Chain A
Amino acid sequence: MPGQTNSLLNSYIPVLCMGLMALFLVVVFVGLSRILGPQRPTPQKLAPYECGVTPIGSARERFPIKFYLIAMLFIVFDIETVFLYPWAATFRHSGGMMLFNLFEMAVFVGILLVGYVYVWRRGAFEWDN
């Protein structure tokens, strides 16, 4: 077959095309209102909107550490999920190794479960105290 080596490349060409198209659309949309709309700025118009009250101080303030905590926990559990993907995709095809694979996954999830219970007991999921 003459073009057999094209297979992988050709599968991903559409992704590239779609990426370029999406980029183009997004840039056009951002530029659109700049070109079409009027430009008549006044100081009041450009002030941050706080329901008509003159803003006090900057908005770049410190925020609760809970959000940070959630982000860290997310990374832990999301990486767990990512590790599970290849395992899940091949699980059905593992034939005689299936019970072993199940056991391996149980160990992996079990270790994470210990962490999960610990985080729960420490109260990382409590938002009301």
Chain B
Amino acid sequence: MNDLWQQLFILPTDQIPWWAEVFRSVIRLVIALAGGLGSVPILVWLERRLLGWFQGRLGPNRVGPFGLLQPLADALKLMMKEDIIPTNVDRTIYVMAPAIALFPVILSLTVLPWNGSREWGAVAPNIDIGILFLLAVGSIEVYGAILAGWSSNNKYSLLGGLRASSQVISYELGMGLSIVSVLLIAGTLGTQSLVMGYDLSQTGVLAPGTLLGNGQAIVSVASVGDTGYTVYEHAASSGFWDWHFLRLFPFGLIATGIYMISMIAETNRAPFDLPEAETELVAGFHTEYSSFKFAMFFMGEYANMLIVSAICVTLFFGGWLAPFGFLSQLPAVTGLYVAPGVVNFVNSFVIAPFWLFTKLYVLIGLFIAVRASFPRLRYDMLMKFGWKGMLPVALGNLVLIATSLAVQQVTFPSLGYYGAWWAGQGVAWGITLVVVGILFYGKYVQYQAKKRVARTTDLIAPIRRPTVIVPTPSAPAPEA
């Protein structure tokens, strides 16, 4: 009996049989689903209430206190509605599309950590390639939109699906490159290690006093055997200034900005909501969907908001860590009065998730505020911004981070930790200034030339733009 208890709850993952791991997985999975999908109704409610507030309306306030039960009522209504499958749709794909849209979103929950335990910290806390997993799974999502749009046999749907696919893949580049920047800084692919600031796969269990990669130190390690948790207490002196968004200033911050813009575009939300622009395309790729199939797209979108925010928090904003180190766990003195197991439980399952969700909801609030503040982009502006703005900036940022790190590595023996930091950053800042200067000078020259042309010829005849893709011999492109 005691042996079974040990196997199911206490022993580390690599010492238990596979069925015990299945049991643990199911527990963790239920926690993750409760946190992930359970948040969807709250998100919907929050969004409608906040939008109402921003626009001087009331928002839903009839069903339940403050309208809290409104999303549940909506879900119930959608469940009871007739499931229409229009004529001439591609039936198999039509039915599969909402499933393909929702499936990867749920699967993404697997590697997002909610505390530092290697046994109970995420659905799959021991995977060293969490970020790759997230990217691989996240890329599937776009298929839901494409297939829904194509199979519906509706012109609006087709246009919505096309728009969604190009938009999502265009912004995935900036997103991927900003994630690579963080990997450069952190030197690991595991989500758990990214938050903690060191590479679990390389160091194993760390001794107290170890300095972590992000400047934090481990104060104590609760032993694995008697509590069931491997808890690394972080130094109370660490805090938000150690998180990745402030590392290698301002390059971490630029990567964060690029990721945050891409994440809004990836989830097809305003101001990037062209795939479902209701004034042009009715409802975009899910125009023909009704009943719970529509609800699945809806759920997928909101759960996806939560997932991309959670990835953002994990990568850039310290995951479940508190903004000030001493808030990450109960004060050590508590251990004198309460059993260490209880202290660890509160640290891992109350305090850490509390900080995670606080950060998540701040980001969600940002999503909603952005939606309320900005008008929708035009499609050519959207693509231009993605390909000519985000991609080169993200790539340049990546190169600068690598340069800074390499210079730091080379100068470290002679200059020490802080000297090397200033040397690396100095080189990177210098390159940035030179490149930005050259770009601005080029723009200035172009602007001057344009002004001259405008003065002389624009009044007589409008400038013909050079057609670049198919140059026609009859109309030679005028030199601007």
Contact = CB atoms under 8 A, between A and B. Distances in A.
Interface of A: 1-4, 6-7, 9-15, 17-19, 21-23, 25-27, 29-30, 32-34, 36-41, 43, 45-51, 55, 58-61, 63, 66-67, 70-71, 73-74, 77-78, 81-82, 84-85, 88-93, 95, 98-99, 101-102, 105-106, 109, 113, 116, 120-129
Contacts of A129: 465, 467-469
Contacts of A127: 379-380, 383-384
A11 to B, nearest CB: 4
B408 to A, nearest CB: 9
A55 B157 CA distance: 13
A60 B33 CA distance: 38
Given A74-B170, A105-B402, A21 B391 contact: no
A5 to B, nearest CB: 9
A33 B110 contact: no
Contacts of B95: 30
B384 A125 contact: yes
A61 B154 CA distance: 10
Interface residues of B, number: 100
Contacts of B86: 46-49
Given A33-B293, A37-B79, A127-B379, A22 B107 contact: yes
B166 A70 contact: yes
Contact of A85 (B17, B132, B467): B132
B130 to A, nearest CB: 10
B217 interface: no
Give the 10 A-B CB pairs with smallest separation, nearest first.
Answer: A92-B187, A123-B468, A127-B380, A33-B292, A33-B291, A7-B14, A14-B124, A11-B126, A22-B106, A81-B176
Interface string B377-403: 001100110011001100100110011
Nearest to A41: B84
A17 B26 contact: yes
A85 B109 CA distance: 21
A93 B187 contact: yes
30 contacts: A1-B14, A3-B17, A6-B21, A10-B16, A11-B13, A14-B28, A18-B32, A25-B106, A29-B98, A30-B293, A33-B291, A33-B293, A37-B81, A50-B156, A59-B153, A60-B153, A74-B169, A74-B173, A88-B181, A89-B183, A91-B402, A98-B409, A99-B406, A102-B406, A121-B468, A125-B387, A126-B468, A127-B383, A128-B380, A129-B468
B405 A15 contact: no
B172 A22 contact: no
Given A3-B16, A26-B102, A74-B172, A99 B87 contact: no
Interface in B155-180: 155-158, 162, 165-166, 169-170, 172-173, 176-177, 180
Contacts of B22: 13, 17
Contacts, number: 261
Interface in B170-206: 170, 172-173, 176-177, 180-181, 183-189, 199, 202
Contacts of A91: 184, 187, 402, 405
Given A58-B88, A128-B380, 10 more contacts: A10-B14, A21-B29, A22-B102, A30-B292, A33-B293, A39-B83, A61-B158, A78-B172, A98-B410, A125-B387
B162 A67 contact: yes
Contacts of A121: 468
Contacts of A126: 380, 384, 468-469
A33 B83 contact: yes
Contacts of B170: 70, 74
A4 B15 contact: yes
Given A29-B296, A126-B468, A85 B189 contact: yes
A18 B106 contact: yes
Nearest to B95: A30
B3 interface: no
Contact of B124 (A1, A12, A55, A124): A12
